[in-house]
Each structure stands twice: as structure tokens, then as C-alpha cells.
Amino acid sequence: VCLAIPGQVVEFFPEQPALVKVDVGGVRRNVNVGLLEDGELALGDWVLIHVGFALSKVSESEAAGQLQMLRAMGEDELAMEEVRGYTFAADDGERR
């Protein structure tokens, strides 16, 4: 339940400040950033995502470490399935 998935911020939406688009292993989805402070994120930043929300901002190396950890735990597929499954902010889909 406490899966935390690393994603990189690739787009902001001026008309929807609560959302950012993140890239998780090539899958792009919108996630909610309401649990971060306003103005905390910049393009290219990395966040840990949990149930559709960015939980915290992390360094690139920590994001890489987190991804490696998910792989080693056998939870990377589950993580991708979760990110693909977010439907609350429909998007133009995946870029593989």
C-alpha cells in the first residue's frame, strides 16, 4: 500500500495548478501535487508518487535508487500498472 513511485516532472498546466505531468519509465500521466508546497517544483524535478499524488520531491539519484529498489522488491511492474491505471486526469497517453 505504501508504494512510492519515482517520476520526473515534464509539464505544468497553468490552468490546473494542482496537476503536473510526470514521466514514469516512459509512461506519462498527470498526478496531483497538492501535498507539496506551492512553487516547490520545476521542470525536470523528480517526485515520489503514491496513489496519484506527489508525496515528496527527491533528487535524481534518489529517484534512480527508488526505481532500483522497486525492481529488486519485484514491485516495478505493479508500480507501472498503478501509474498506467490513473484515470482521474485523462491524458494523451503513453510515449514509449
Partner 1 sequence: MTAAGASRMKYVDEFRDPALITAVAHEIARTVDPARHYRIMEVCGGHTHAIYRHGLRDVLPDNVELVHGPGCPVCVLPTGRVDDGLAIASQPDTILTCFGDMMRVPGTKGTPLELKARGADIRMVYSPLDALKLAQDEPSKHVCFFAIGFETTAPSTALTVLRARELGVRNFSVFVNHVTIVPAIRAILDSPDMRLDAFVGPGHVSTITGCRPYQFIAEHYGKPVAVSGFEPLDVLEGVLMVLRQLRAGEAKVENQYKRIVPWEGNPAALRALAAVFELRPYFEWRGLGFISQSALRLKAAFAEYDAEVRFALPNVRVTDPRAAQCGEVLKGVLKPPQCKLFGKECNPEHPVGALMVSSEGACAAYYRYARIDEAVNA
**Footprint on this chain of partner 1 (rule: CB under 8 A):** 1-2, 4, 18, 32, 34-37, 48, 50-53, 55-56, 58-59, 62, 65, 68-69, 72-75, 81-83, 85-89
Least distance in Å: CB of 49 to partner 1?
10
| Separation of first and last alpha carbons in the chain | 27
Instruction: Pick the closer one to partner 1 by CB: 32 or 45.
Output: 32
Instruction: Pick the closer one to partner 1 by CB: 43 or 73.
Output: 73
**SS3 of 22, please?**
strand
Distance in angstroms (rounded) separating the CA atoms of residues 66 and 61 = 9
32 contacts 54 by C-beta, under 8 angstroms:
yes
Distance in angstroms (rounded) separating the CA atoms of residues 28 and 1 = 22
Instruction: Pick the closer one to partner 1 by CB: 10 or 36.
Output: 36
Instruction: Pick the closer one to partner 1 by CB: 42 or 72.
Output: 72
35 contacts 48 by C-beta, under 8 angstroms:
no
Least distance in Å: CB of 62 to partner 1?
5
